[in-house]
Amino acid sequence: MVEDEIRRVTDRLSKERRSANMRAVKDRDTGPEMIVRRLAHRMGYRFRLHRADLPGKPDLVFPARRAVIFVHGCFWHGHHCKRGAAPVTNTAFWAPKLAKNAARDAVQRARLRRDGWRSLVVWECQIKDERKLASRLRRFLD
Ligand SMILES: [Zn+2]
């Protein structure tokens, strides 16, 4: 029956959307961003998260310092490092996508600058060395 088929497809789609949502939540609350958040917090800085009214919805927002931090995945945001290298297969698919992400990042940072916000990008590959990261945060925030 057509109805059965429709229901099956709808069920499958909503299940897929649910797990995509869960993945998105997990991405937001684990990994590189959490490391930066915990460190900044431990260093005594207070900040807001993902302020939707700012260009690019920055990961950490320090309102009093008029400063924001983005924590970027090297691959998705096109960092020029080993992790950030675009896949060699399916280049026609990935290259425009990744270029678009990088272009959007640049536009958002320009908008922030125009509005008087300083921004810092912490790349996923730069968080392993905690002391280095801490001194970078201090240089940027103090
Ligand atoms: Zn990187």
Q: How far is the CA of 89 from the centre of ligand 1 (A)?
A: 20
Q: What tens digit of pLDDT does each residue of 6-45 get?
A: 566 556 656 655 565 555 655 556 689 999 999 999 999 9
Q: How far is the CA of 98 from the centre of ligand 1 (A)?
A: 14
Q: How far is the CA of 121 from the centre of ligand 1 (A)?
A: 11
Mean pLDDT estimate for the chain? 86
Percent share of the chain, pLDDT over 70: 79
CA dist., res. 104 & res. 78, Å (int): 11
pLDDT of residue 94: 86
pTM above 0.85, yes or no: no
Distances 26 to 30, 41, 104 between C-alpha atoms, Å: 6, 20, 23
